[in-house]
Amino acid sequence: MQSFDEHQDTMAVSVTAIAHVHAHLGLQLREYYSQDVEIDASSRLGRVLGRLSAALDAAEAGHEVPAAFKDDLIGMVPRLRRYALSLTRDAVEADDLVQFTLLRAWQHRTKFTSGTNLVAWLFAILRNGFINGRRKHRLEVPDPDGIHAAALVRPADQEHKLDIRDLQAALDRLEPTYREALLLVAVEGLSYEAAADAIGCPTGTVKSRVSRARDWLARDLGEA
Phi/psi at 197 (nearest 5 deg)? -65, -40
Which tens digit of pLDDT belongs to each residue from 181-193?
Answer: 988 888 888 899 9
Which tens digit of pLDDT belongs to each residue from 131-163?
Answer: 887 766 554 444 444 444 444 434 344 444 445
pTM of the predicted protein model: 0.64
CA distances from 121 to 17, 118, 191 (A): 38, 5, 13
Which tens digit of pLDDT belongs to each residue from 8-24?
Answer: 444 333 445 445 555 56
Ordered domains of the chain (ranges, CATH): 18-35+154-224 (1.10.10.10), 37-152 (1.10.1740.10)
Contact 77, 48 (CB under 8 A): no
Q: What percent of the chain has pLDDT over 90?
A: 17
Cα distance between residue 180 and residue 183, in whole Å: 5
